[in-house]
Chain A
Amino acid sequence: MLYRENGQFKNSYRSDLAIFPILQDRIAIAALLAIAFVVVPLAAPEYLFRAILIPFLILSLAALGLNILVGYCGQISLGTGAFMAVGAYAAYNFQARIEGMPLIASLLLGGACSTLVGVLFGVPSLRIKGLYLAVATLAAQFFVDWSFLRIRWFTNDSSSGSVSVAGLNVLGLPIESPVQKYLFCLSFLVVFALAAKNLVRSHIGREWMAIRDMDVAAAVIGIRPVYAKLTAFAVSSFIVGVAGALWGFVHLGSWEPAAFNIDRSFQLLFMVIIGGLGSIMGSFFGAAFIVVLPILLDSLPAWFGIPIDTALASHLTFMIFGALIVFFLIVEPHGLARLWSTGKEKLRLWPFPH
């Protein structure tokens, strides 16, 4: 009854191209942003920020980046963790070696370095396709893991690649308390999500989707595969790199290469698939699902007062996690974003049958 587009006419190109064409959507998004920026910082307990909200924001950003590559351009990548690591370590180097480097500049430069590495490892995608490419991107993962462990220069001569940052501040404002960290990440996420949404609606996003749907056909109608694939790798690894830098700087504070290992890559791919391939919204759903689920599973036995030893609990968590992933893939192979849009379609008609 309430959610309906009747009477909202599009009488200019501008309104036709709006991201949220329906008034109710615009109100909902504005309310969501207001809650995220104002209500949550005032109301949420500290544990929530540390354990759920900050990881959720950063991993959503990374999933967003990966979704551009996998969901929009159709190039499966299992090396996301590597690009995050490049972003984090490059940003660390800028921060540590250059006196008085502004935080935001180092984060973005970290993303830029990640872009270079991403394009480099994206070059094989011009020749290798599909699952072969997926396995080939593991080369990036293992190579980058190894170089941060072994090549001292990258980690400013620290042993075993463990580095730490302290005293973060933006324009004199410290980023110390969980609330400040939360707001910092949230601002990044909002800016990048808006940029990504606009990018995939532009001509370049359409080229990516054409390449995804069938690259030979796309090449025949005049889309340059080299350009489309490499820009997808570049944009994706830039966003992923910034997310990696945020993960290291803001969430962890001190980290070593294991923070960005292959499990991280799989985790991000899970987010993208469970959330929905080729959907900006889906990245958020996926990240929320994958971040919250393990925490929920861990704390379930305690809530019900079942005494269970930790080893068994972790095995059970593995089992349930695996089973739930399979379950979701069977129920909705197109991800949570599809469920969301089906729900919205239903809501438009409700309570009438047609």
Chain B
Amino acid sequence: MGFFLETLIGGLMAGMLYSLIALGFVLIFKASGVFNFAQGAMVLFAALAMARFAEWFPKLLGFDSRLLANLLAFAAAFVVMIAVAWVIERFVLGKLVNQEGITLLMATLGIAYFLEGFGQTLFGSDIYKIDVGMPKDPVIVLESTLQGGILINKEDLYAALIAAGLVALLTLFFQKTATGRALRAVADDHQAAQSIGIPLKRIWVIVWSVAGMVALVAGVIWGSKLGVQFSLAQVALKALPVVILGGLTSVPGAIVGGLIIGVGEKLSEVYVGPMLGGGIEIWFAYVLALGFLLVRPQGLFGEKIIDRV
């Protein structure tokens, strides 16, 4: 029982991190109908920027506080991500208005290649560390009720909390601010939004910037877990089943989908994996998502697809 709970909690926390990346996909798809394959490259790019800025600033400006360095680096990386968002809108998506979904998808793949190359040219391609002072030691809880207690990785716990906080913040932003309302209007209907005077171009830059910020947070968390290196871009592949499971257009879907995938992956790894020879987590998430989609083709929380002739 204790072991099962431990796996379950581990899965939930891993799932929170998947949701964080899935969130980036959903934000952009909602607002601009672009399935953004470059999200993984954006995570890598943001994490590289953060790691290198945190290294460069203290040397350049001659101070010695790690907190200050991290804060400055985070701010600078955010500015860089806004610049990336602007460039993408200005030079790529702005030119591809009204194209088919698959063309846009391939364009974002092109962007992904570009960002991966550009990031590593600019910031170097070694393995870098992001050290934001996350505690590494595990804690044991519930020792009194269960024998042996439950082992929880503190780092994962903090990461999950940060992810949850970010989701709450984004929800507030979408529901309560004028910009958030405009974003929702654009997501609902591009033409109607434009006709009541919402500037589409600016909205797209904002959405890509928000997605860039989400990528930055995801990059910092994953980067401090795994180290900042090229393989970070592959994390996006883990988030794809989450996105389709939850529904491409749904923010809550990204969260719930992430939790389902996280838990399913961990449980299957522990209980099913040994029977099949291990290493099944890479496809299990996809097959799980496929199973859910067969029942609900639009994902758990996606808008119902209505076909009209």
Which A positions have Cβ atoms within 8 angstroms of B?
70, 76, 124, 127-132, 134-136, 138-139, 142-143, 145-146, 149-151, 214-217, 220, 262, 266, 269-270, 273, 277, 311-312, 315-326, 329-330, 333
**List of A residues within 8 angstroms of B116 by Cβ:** 315, 318, 322
**List of B residues within 8 angstroms of A277 by Cβ:** 102
Q: Does A333 contact B103, Cβ atoms closer than 8 Å?
A: yes
Minimum CB–CB distance for B5 against chain A, Å: 28
27 A-B residue pairs with Cβ-Cβ distance under 8 Å, sorted by A, are A70-B102, A124-B293, A127-B294, A128-B293, A128-B297, A130-B101, A131-B35, A131-B244, A132-B298, A135-B241, A136-B244, A138-B240, A138-B241, A138-B286, A139-B290, A143-B286, A146-B283, A150-B276, A214-B309, A217-B309, A315-B125, A318-B116, A319-B117, A324-B110, A325-B109, A329-B106, A330-B96
Q: Does B138 belong to the interface (CB within 8 Å)?
A: no
Minimum CB–CB distance for B257 against chain A, Å: 12
What is the interface of chain A mostly: helix, strand, loop, or mixed? helix
Which B positions have Cβ atoms within 8 angstroms of A?
35, 91-92, 95-96, 99-103, 105-107, 109-118, 120-121, 125, 237, 240-241, 243-244, 248, 276-280, 282-283, 286-287, 289-290, 293-294, 297-299, 305, 307-309
Q: Does A143 contact B287, Cβ atoms closer than 8 Å?
A: yes
Q: Does B117 contact A316, Cβ atoms closer than 8 Å?
A: yes
Q: A76-B102, A142-B286 are in contact. Are A129 and B121 (CB under 8 A)?
A: no
Minimum CB–CB distance for A309 against chain B, Å: 11
Closest A residue to B38 by beta carbon equals A322
Q: Does B309 contact A318, Cβ atoms closer than 8 Å?
A: no
User: In the complex, which of the residues B102, B120, B287, B289 has the most CB atoms of chain A within 10 Å of its own CB atom?
Assistant: B102
Minimum CB–CB distance for A137 against chain B, Å: 9
Docked complex Cα distance between A266 and B37 (Å): 11
Docked complex Cα distance between A320 and B110 (Å): 10
Minimum CB–CB distance for B241 against chain A, Å: 7
Other 15 A-B pairs with CB < 8 A, given A273-B106, A326-B110: A76-B105, A127-B297, A128-B294, A129-B305, A134-B105, A142-B286, A146-B283, A311-B120, A312-B121, A315-B125, A318-B113, A325-B106, A326-B111, A326-B114, A329-B110
Q: Does B293 contact A146, Cβ atoms closer than 8 Å?
A: no
**List of B residues within 8 angstroms of A145 by Cβ:** 282-283
Minimum CB–CB distance for B38 against chain A, Å: 9
Q: Does B293 contact A315, Cβ atoms closer than 8 Å?
A: no
Q: A325-B113, A326-B107 are in contact. Are A131 and B297 (CB under 8 A)?
A: no
**List of A residues within 8 angstroms of B113 by Cβ:** 318-319, 321-322, 325
**List of A residues within 8 angstroms of B112 by Cβ:** 322
Q: A129-B305, A333-B96 are in contact. Are A142 and B283 (CB under 8 A)?
A: yes
Docked complex Cα distance between A329 and B121 (Å): 24
Q: Does B279 contact A150, Cβ atoms closer than 8 Å?
A: yes
Q: A322-B110, A323-B114, A329-B103 are in contact. Are A143 and B283 (CB under 8 A)?
A: yes
